[in-house]
Structure 1
Amino acid sequence: MASAGGDVTRRLQQELMGIMMGADPGASAFPNDDNLFEWTATLCGSEDTAYEGLTYKLKLVFPDTYPYKAPLITFETPCFHPNVDEHGNICLDILKEKWSSAFSVSTILQSLRSLLADPNNESPLNTEAAQLWADQDKYRQVCKQKYQEGAGEA
């Protein structure tokens, strides 16, 4: 079983190197201190979305069965979004039943940025956000307000 832990460590080290070399300006992730199984990620909202100019902090916790089991990912910065609840939990199929060991931290972060711009209103965790989504002007206003309220708590 020690070999399996070594495999996970090697995989996470490779992914970290890929993130550092890739230099995606909209997303980054790094281990917390010396714990390779807990990372902090930063996600910037894409241009021309309600999240433009906003930066979110996320927590990634990798199981010892990674990459065969998805990491647990939560928003630490409050995020007003149809697929994110008030505790930061995310409803995204690739983090649940559609998970594949081919996914990496980079692909997860790209998927999360896409989700911010294009939510799945068929499966909302935040019904208020899902209902407001159709009115983008109002949605942007509430999104920025909730973000600023959350920034005050941090």
Structure 2
Amino acid sequence: SSVFLAFARKPRGKLHKGRRISISPSFGVLAMASKRILKELKDLQKDPPTSCSAGPVAEDMFHWQATIMGPPDSPYAGGVFLVTIHFPPDYPFKPPKVAFRTKVFHPNINSNGSICLDILKEQWSPALTISKVFVLKGF
């Protein structure tokens, strides 16, 4: 869904009919997150990572589902793994929450499916993208 703003001010800063419009300080951050997530989605569609697909659930750009194929010549070969991705409102300044919904035994994935990697926690950088995370860690 789109967000539309109406400005109540007339030229030279006068208030229109005495009304004030206040915009939450988080609005700009949320708009920035939406723009970044949309760019990542377009980049994924243009150049998808090998053995992986991802995109929004319904029309919620902040909630994605990914499908990862198990890498050949690995214990996960032939496996299809479902992953959920939740982007925070202040993305990309905070990392997304990424969790496996398919049960998988892996040293970096805990029993509830959360991925325990430093790049998804304290080592997160706004320069990273979901695509880069999957490529760098070879999921």
Which structure would you say has the larger Rg? Answer: 2
| Partner residue of 2:75 out of 35, 50, 68 | 50
Would you say the 8 A contact 2:49–2:135 is kept in 1? Answer: no
SS in 2 for 1:2: helix
User: One-letter code of the match for 1:38?
Assistant: H
**Where does 1:96-111 land on structure 2 (aligned, <5 Å)?**
96-111=121-136
Specify the code of the residue in structure 2 equivalent to 1:78: K
Which of 71, 75, 78 matches 2:103? 78
Measured against aligned partners, the alpha-carbon deviations of 1:12-47 in whole angstroms (never above 9, x if no partner) come to 000000000113341111001011000001111111
Q: CA deviation at 1:105?
A: 1.1
CA distance in 2, matches of 1:93, 1:108: 11
Amino acid at match of 1:43: I
TM-score, normalised via structure 2 length? 0.77
**Contact 2:94 2:124 survives alignment (8 Å):** yes
Give the aligned partner of residue 38 of structure 1. 63
Q: Tell me the amino acid that sits aligned with residue 91 of structure 1.
A: C
The structure 2 residue matched to 1:88, chosen from 93, 113, 124, is: 113
Q: How many residues in Structure 1 have an aligned counterpart in Structure 2?
A: 114
By how many angstroms is 1:85 displaced?
1.6
Which amino acid in structure 1 is aligned with residue 48 of structure 2? A
Aligned to 1:129: none
> TM-score when scaled to structure 1?
0.70
Which of 12, 15, 19 is the equivalent residue of 2:44? 19
Q: Which residue of 2 aligns with 1:64?
A: 89
More contact order relative to length (CA 8 Å, sep ≥ 6): 1
1:65: how far off?
A: 0.8
Quick check: 1:31–1:38 contact (8 Å CA) kept in 2? yes
1:68-114 residue CA offsets vs partner (Å, 9 max, x unmatched): 100011100001111112210111110011110000010112234x2
Q: Distance in 2 between matches of 1:82 and 1:25?
A: 22
Q: Which runs of 5+ in 1 are unaligned?
A: 117-154
Identity %, equivalent residues: 34
Question: Considering only aligned residues, what root-mean-square deviation do their CA atoms show, in Å?
Answer: 1.2
State the secondary structure of the residue aligned to 2:126. Answer: coil
Distance across 1 between alignment mates of 2:85 and 2:136: 14
Which whole-Å CA distance do the structure 2 matches of 1:91 and 1:105 have between them? 15
Alpha-carbon distance in structure 1 between the residues aligned to 2:122 and 2:29: 23
For the Cα contact (< 8 Å) 2:69–2:79, is it kept in 1?
A: yes
